[in-house]
Structure 1
């Protein structure tokens, strides 16, 4: 019997996660932190609510992630100019270094995952995943 598509996606996601997780621990990063670092590398600083919206997670969840990141010296929070009671989140030099190490890890796993795929197949595959995400959420991946 042919494996259903949803199961192919699910199993592939978990295989990738299982390859990346040990490296996350080595880098001192926990679940959710790499995506925050990546977002801050692209946006320099942002509001906490922007992070929650960007990742489709509850504000309480992002607050917990940020507290842990602040304790590790990966980010810092400060009052946001022009926004009463809003807190601006920024990345620290230590956070930039952790992000660089994270990127190295991800590129190594990606290289293994895409072995044997031509550049054209990789581009098509990326396009398909972006379309699937849009179909499921109505949002685009930049």
Structure 2
């Protein structure tokens, strides 16, 4: 079991989350918030449905994540095109600073994960991993 695909996938995900939160311990960020900050860094002004889909978070859970991030002044929600039911989410100045810190932590973890792995092996692994992801996404349809 320890070498099966599902075990290694879950073990790697848990390890990355644990190490990421340890790197960001002093920020007070909670699970879910780093990936939202990272996404918004490149998609500032995205709506909640886009964020939920891209970050693989249930919409109801994302609402809670964004509420906590708003209290911390990391994001702000603005109505879109006069529709009070539709919000765009924007990083605040503090949110931009935190997103940079999160991006740096992700980059450090990725470098650690690929230590001793050649660039060619890394590209090959990522290509296969993307294909595996695509296969699994097809199974959801």
Q: What residue number does 1:81 align with?
A: 81
Alignment size in residue pairs: 139
Q: What residue number does 2:118 align with?
A: 118
- Per the alignment, do residues 76 and 2 of structure 1 end up closer, same or farther by CA in structure 2, a change over 3 Å counting? closer
- Per the alignment, do residues 121 and 52 of structure 1 end up closer, same or farther by CA in structure 2, a change over 3 Å counting? same
Say whether residues 1:46 and 2:46 are aligned partners: yes
- Per the alignment, do residues 25 and 2 of structure 1 end up closer, same or farther by CA in structure 2, a change over 3 Å counting? closer
Q: Could you list the per-position Cα deviations for residues 49-84 of structure 1 after superposition, in whole angstroms to 9, with x for gaps in the alignment?
A: 222233343321111000000011110111111545
- Per the alignment, do residues 5 and 48 of structure 1 end up closer, same or farther by CA in structure 2, a change over 3 Å counting? closer
4+ residue runs over 6 A deviation: none
Deviation at 1:17, TM superposition (A): 2.3
Matches within 5 A, 1:1-142: 3-81=3-81, 83-138=83-138
Q: 2:85 is paired with a residue of what secondary structure? A: coil
Deviation at 1:113, TM superposition (A): 1.3
Say if 2:47 and 2:86, in contact at 8 Å, map to a contact too: yes
Q: CA RMSD in A?
A: 2.1
TM-score, normalised relative to structure 1 = 0.86
Give the gaps of 5 or more residues in structure 2.
none
Say if 1:37 and 1:99, in contact at 8 Å, map to a contact too: yes
